Structure 1
Amino acid sequence: MYTRVSTEEQARSGYSLKEQLRACREKAGTNDVIEYVDEGLSGEFLDRPSLTKLRKDVLADVIDVVICLDPDRLSRKLMNQLILSEEIEKKAQLIFVNGEYKRTPEGMLFYQMRGAIAEFEKAKITERMSRGRREKARQGKVLRDFQVYGYSYDKEQEQFKINEYEAKVVKLIFELFTNTNDLVKGINGIAKYLSNQGIPTKRNAKQWHRQVVRQILMNRIYIGEFYQNRWNTEGMLGNKYKQEDERVKMKQRPKEEWIQVPCPAFIDKEQFEHAQILLKQSRRRWSGINKNEYLLSGLVRCSTCGNTMTGRRQKNWGTYVFEYSDVKNTAGAKHKGCGFRIKCEELDQVIWNTIKEWLNHPEKLDELSESEDDSYSYEKAELDRINYELSRVKNGRQRLINFLMEEDVIDEQEIREKLKELKEKELSLNNNKIKIQELLDGVEGNGIKEVLIQKASAHYLSLGSRDLEFGVKRDLIRSVVKEIKVSSDKKVEIYTF
């Protein structure tokens, strides 16, 4: 006897295992039976422990007759029902309590109709449950405990409430990441600091990972924006039964389908938006540790070719010179650079003098050289290039499809491989386009320039008139500057957040 029940069916239809076993035993007319029971498992997938054991025993001629309450107990999918039925009937007799079917055209038609109805019913149940959850979210309810650090879940009210202890840790993370300090450097430094301080994670683990810190810094719930119905997880339930390359990936739904649920905020929006900008630049700013430190590391870009300018030590007539250069010697570099370079001492002095003037006189914000049209010009040019490449890829795919549909194709396999290659290129371009567009969208209308200058100025003035250490200077510059562009005629443009 094979029986199965999932939690939703037990609650909805009273399909208890005891009831199924009783009905199957009555049908068998004997107690000389073996019970194969799968409890709390979906009929959508074939990989179930007891069903797998049943199939092995049938194949080994251990049993003669298989009794099941209904075809949908074997599977909720018609295709799987037919596969299982054919497999069992090669070795044994298959009997259903609720209706018999014969191996005739009419009998098979009836069986398939029942299977199609069962599959349709499963789809409708899923759709009704999803619709119910969406409606609940629209009413401002939090569907379950999402285990968000900084919040506790009120099950009765179905709402988030601030966890005071965890909220203090979240505030500390944002402070360490967005403000100059002597404690940590970057996300990895924050994770190590929290671990060393013995602060537990949401799951009471002792070790903090940089990815957890990054997720906290990116989570908009801390400024009062929590979204449900954001991710499409359809089909992911069966991932544990599939090979790595066959698993269904979670996909983000279009933004218009997201449902925002209000929640208490405890991080300032200006500070949060500042963190998002720093996150987008963190790989460039903290990409590695050089043997020599450079004041403007990760901030300088060549205006001519668009390459970032990195610090390096060059030997010139027996003397070592430190300089910023746009030349890329890395194998596979997309742009080798135009060869422009400038001495570190020269550029560092220009930038630090300008920053000091701003910090001493923060009220002179109107004198900042940034203009809306020039800001992120490299990213805007790259976005135009990606859009052009996307149109070329789409046209190329269409031409290949038209050619494939013609008769007397010489090498059909080669065309299909080329189509696959173009599809992968289109996917890669779209991913890059999304990242750049998010960057450009994120910097529009943030209104955080004045706040950052004022905070940096207060910190600078508190240090007094003494000479500042290299690290302090670097942190002050990074706290207000997002990029420095230098042209071949040594014209310098400073862009603030």
Structure 2
Amino acid sequence: MSRIALYIRLSVEDQIKNKESESIISQRMYLNDYIDNMVDLKHQERKEYIDDGYSGTNENRPSYQRLLEDVKTGQVNTIVVKDMSRFMRDYISLGDYLENIFPFLGVRFISINDGYDSNENQGNGTDLDIQFKNLMYDFYAKDASEKIKTVRKALNEQGKIQSWSPPYGYMKDPEDKHKIIPDEETSWVVKKIYDLYLEGLSMRKINDYLNEHKMKTPAQRKLELTKMDYSNRYKKIKDKPAWNFSSVIDILNDEIYTGTYVYSRIDKSLINGTEKNAKPIPKKDWGRVFDNHEPIVSKEIYDEVQKLKASKSFKGKNTTYEWYKHSPLQGFLYCPECGYLLACQRTAKKRKGKPDKIHRYFRCRYCKNDGVKIKGSNADKLEPLVFEEIKEKCDVSNKVEIIEKKAVNNKDIIKDIEIRKQTYYEKYKLGEITRLKFIEEKKKLDDKIEVLIKEQSKVIKEKEKINEEKLTRELMDKYIKSIVVRGNEILKIEWK
């Protein structure tokens, strides 16, 4: 059955300016009020597609992709948005959707603030005023990231906390939204966690203690303070909210409880905020504002806890441990969910008349204890992948240097061609060239790109390889700082 899709997007910029819930609620009300006043739409079934905290230039938005799938399968015949920038900020791609894709699929597209309805507008959305608006959105998106970073940096340096949800143990100051104050309901729990750890309880036993005494969980308190329900993200005991092992770890790690505001822990693009673009910043380079708010624990107690944790920490690269020999990757792999070091485990499968088959795999102990489902990483599959990455990265022969320069040059040429394609498209939309001329020029440029891409493939194959050998600890120590993996996929390598 076809239905109306209400597409709602909350961007990073919105999160700085407004509370998350208000922005989504206001868009929802705006779209529904519009539909209620449309005679031909008000009785049709409606379905919401909400992307929270995603940029309009990033097409890898969960609800956006789900909406496109529903459009393709005929489940949606009308899309309503507040304005076109909510749907997409790449004006060339948006023009393609309005001019070709949606009309072909029989989908009606309505942008309320732009006064655009594909059932009424001629030209399928390619009128000059619409194109100029879309071009403005595109330029805005590319410029917004640096501006927002600059604003955030200035606010951070002043100690103004921008998170809409304060950490457990604190609440927003009613007099200043950029300040936090101890929360009488939960600050004593934070103190208790530190006291229990100094008394000798392990983090796991502290987690059990909190659950046994039914102390209010972070998810419960967040719901009370912000009206946002995050309980479905955390494990439950007998269908009741329960503490997570990772929450205890986070509380014992966070300097904020000493009155220090810590910021700039991750460098993340605001235009294309995908996981691959998020870069952890070394701890020594984090920004800090000391004595920024009232502490819950003293600096002395916090430092004592850190020393105690360090003495018990997982010895990731200590060669005296037998498990260190399980894989040369031991001590280098990190979990993409919680950021902790992965542990290598071995299991033996009995085989009649044959030696036991040994399986080596990496798992995150912290996610496992929290009940978070995450794929294990097969050491036999990851080691060859890492070895190939090292060979590609670290072969420094003269021939490889020449090939690398050629590869970079080809990439630059492809970028220039893409810019020329965009220029021709703009000329076509402005009526400076005919559609036929645009198609001819576009084909010529596409053919050039195809040739360059084939050359790139040859460049990769031409790289000289170092002598075939298996991955060793020496290679890892020489070239690698850390690797983030999910299952048998390498997400990020930090090189020395």
TM-score, scaled to structure 1: 0.46
Q: Which has the larger radius of gyration?
A: 1
TM-score, scaled to structure 2: 0.46
Greater strand share, structure number = 2
